[in-house]
Amino acid sequence: MDLSYDPPPAFRHALDHVHAVVAAETGFDDFGPRDYVPGLMTLLQSMDYDPRFSDQGRRAAWGTVVGVLRGRAQAIAAMKANAGFDARPVLSPVVITGVPRTGTTALHRLLAVDPRFQGLQTWLLDSPMPRPPVRDWGDNPAYRRTMTALEAQYAALPGARAAHFRAAEEVHECCMVLRQSFVSNLWSCGWSAATYDAWWQCQDEGPAYAHFARCVQLIGMNEPDRRWLLKNPGHIEHLDLLLAVFPDARVIQTHRDPGKALPSLVSLLMNMNGLMEPDRTEQRAATLLRREVAKWARAADKAEAVKARHPGQVLDVVHADFHAAPMATVEAIYRFIGMEIPEDTRAALALRIAERPELSRGVHRYDIADYGMTVEEARAPFADYIDRYGLLEGRA
């Protein structure tokens, strides 16, 4: 989110204005295929109707829209400037997914210790381009912009560090570039967006995945033979689209008791969007939890159907097993993806496991009772899923 942009009087009339702002800032007026426009129009209309923004929130929401459209313009410009960026296919990427708050981030950052992998660093998701050498990142204006934005966010929301820490140089989620097509679940999470959400649930995200795949090729064009390590919870709802753009992907799906995972997600989202909308907190939290329970139960069911059509391409990892025996889980993953673990990499993985850096920024605390639902109600739509993976059983 960027607080430096003055929002228009009415968002619904600002389609041309947001393009003009980005073009004036970047010098780029090509935004690629126009499939993103209906989503952007719907989002802008929703921003006038659904949320009750504070003044600061209004500026932050507008800054977010400008920033994402800027990222799209920069991606298209970089593609035009780098002919042949898509000449080489992305071979057998390793993709981590699962219902949010099931350990996807911890597993992703653990495996990213292996230098044989390449990933989507936060700053490159904001500004897609061929990945420069690491030694040059500090001098890159796009890198510095991401660092400044994250520092401002954590200054405004200190609790976000413990809930879901991000750093400009660390790997992050595919959804941050998928949202450049403005057909994304992410736009329903930052502030109240019921009208956008209703529209989004009827849309095809195929064009978003096509743009995402091209951005992956663009970012990795200088190292086309280096294996990709990607992560995004939302892929479980679109495994068919993911496997359409990356047919030989090796997918790792994490699993955890939804009665714990989804209240944790809502706590994270409420902490983030409290900056946007300071009132109606209890009402928004209860509505959001019911929405997230329904959405992710549907996504988990869709994932099972796709997995049945792609036997052997998805490895299931239960959160409790990963926490109880992380190295054993890592070894199972490396067997699944067909890679050995060199001794220096094994030592680096063991060090990361021992240090547990995710806990160094505080403990994320939440209580489902604050969101108007019981644990049993949150689990109910997941009954078959919970039984399939034994998520309520004691595990050795």
**What pLDDT was estimated at residue 396?**
43
pLDDT in the model for residue 393: 64
pLDDT in tens, the chain (396 residues): 565 679 999 999 999 999 999 999 999 999 999 999 999 999 999 999 999 999 999 999 999 999 999 999 999 999 999 999 999 999 999 999 999 999 999 999 999 999 999 999 999 999 999 999 989 998 988 889 888 887 877 676 665 554 445 687 888 999 999 999 999 999 999 899 999 999 999 999 999 999 999 999 999 999 999 999 999 999 999 999 999 999 999 999 999 999 999 999 998 888 878 889 988 888 888 899 999 999 999 999 999 999 999 999 999 999 999 999 999 999 999 999 999 999 999 999 999 999 887 665 555 567 788 888 999 999 999 999 999 999 996 554
Please give the order of strands across the beta sheet that includes 94-98.
117-118, 227-231, 94-98, 250-255, 314-318
Question: How far is residue 328's CA from residue 334's CA, in Å, rounded to a whole number?
Answer: 10
Instruction: State the pLDDT at residue 358.
Output: 67
pLDDT number for residue 151: 80
- Tell me, what's the pLDDT at 271? 83
Which residue segments constitute the domains of the chain, with CATH numbers given? Answer: 11-389 (3.40.50.300)
Q: Is the CA virtual torsion 208, 210, 211, 212 positive or negative?
A: positive
pLDDT score at 296: 97
| pLDDT at residue 233, rounded to an integer | 96
**CA–CA dist 27, 65 (Å, integer):** 17
The predicted pLDDT at position 369 comes to: 83
Rounded to 5 degrees, what angle do the CA atoms 357, 358, 363 make? 125
Residue 101's pLDDT is 93
Query: Which DSSP symbol is given to 135?
Result: G
Q: Tokens representing 135? A: 């030694």
Q: What's the pLDDT score for residue 149? A: 80
Contact of 38 with 97, CB cutoff 8 Å: no
Q: Indicate the SS3 state at residue 380.
A: helix
pLDDT of residue 390: 95
Give pLDDT, residue 4.
61
What is the predicted pLDDT for the residue at 361? 56
Q: What is the DSSP secondary-structure string of 136-170?
A: GGGG-HHHHHHHHHHHHHHHH-TTHHHHS---TTS
Q: What angle is formed at CA 171 by the lines to CA 115 and CA 203, rounded to 5 degrees?
A: 130
